Structure 1
Amino acid sequence: MSTLEAPARQLTSDELIINNMGLVGSAAKRVNQTTGADYLELFQEGSIGLIKAARSFKVDMGFKFATYANRCIVNQMLDYLNKGKQSIQCISLETVPHWYERAGEYAADLSRVEVDMAAIQSMTAKQKHLISLLCSGYSQRQAAAEMGLTTGSVQRLIKKARSSYEQASGFRF
């Protein structure tokens, strides 16, 4: 005697979104812990990724929705973080998580903050010059023109300067 099974009902995209919001929370928590970015911002971006995943998922893809959705969620968060990095000139210390635990002496109004001068000295002259231009209000494009570089070269130089400072000081942004 065989039992007849009813075919599994396909969930709508709204049901997939509602049922998988926990994925967004866990992904936002993981990304927050590794990058220090704001959890609520990451959750919001991850929700957009979940919506995109629910709208584009096809059952015949050969894997479960949660696997597909998790990748879409994390990709959306990383895209958000990468877009933010491109527009940073000199970030406020308020955006650096727990900066006050790692900084030297600082004034209450943040008009003066002690930095690790040994770490600054570990940078090349070109990196120091670029950082001083950016901190004095130049955009990346303006700094590139001032230094006779391309904007791509400036972005790579910023990345190297940041890496040099982080290595020398032990302070991760």
Structure 2
Amino acid sequence: MLKAIICLLDMLYKKFMLTWTLGHLASSDTLPPPLSKDEEEALMQRLILGDTSVRRTLIERNLRLVAYIARKFENTGVGMEDLVSIGAIGLIKGVNTFDATKRIKLATYASRCIENEILMHLRKTSKLRLEISIDEPLNIDWDGNELLLSDILGTDSDDISKRLEDEVDKQLLLKALMRLNDREKRIMELRFGLFGNEEYTQKQVADMLGISQSYISRLEKRIIRQLRHDITAMQ
């Protein structure tokens, strides 16, 4: 019974903190300024000594981080209000799990938590809109190449291989693969573990072939579109 009560209180506290955080983001044009180095160090010392009440201040003074990171995902098809709400959950989790004794800045740790929370949401929803937005350009990388939603989400091999297996007969897939040139076949073999090969990440395949990860990503998307086209034509 005691454990159940503690869990309920924890849930209510998190719900309160989320409502309070979103209220700040929605009701004020000017968010609280970030902490200065001295202010953050003072709060960290209090946190180390067990004063958990400082977490509320840490959340409040890092709200700009949520808004900043959420804007990076504004072209993913998810509304900014939703992105901010999801990011706020990540911020709260980050502050609540932050270990002040570790040699890492809160902003660095919280940024990862915010991004991870948003990415988890995008991964969950991406299956519902894969055809619409998976190839949508989001930004330009250092090489001047377009970065796609699927690049931001990370490797999407599980999603793609599952979709292909669900949608087509394996014999049709094999015939379509045989139409690819040697490099295209090699990329598919390495990325999706075809023909008994080990499955590798985009970065690993890029390193093997001596090209950039973003280029591998673009090739992969083009190859898969070609496979779908060829398979449809054969049916």
TM-score if structure 2 supplies the norm length? 0.37
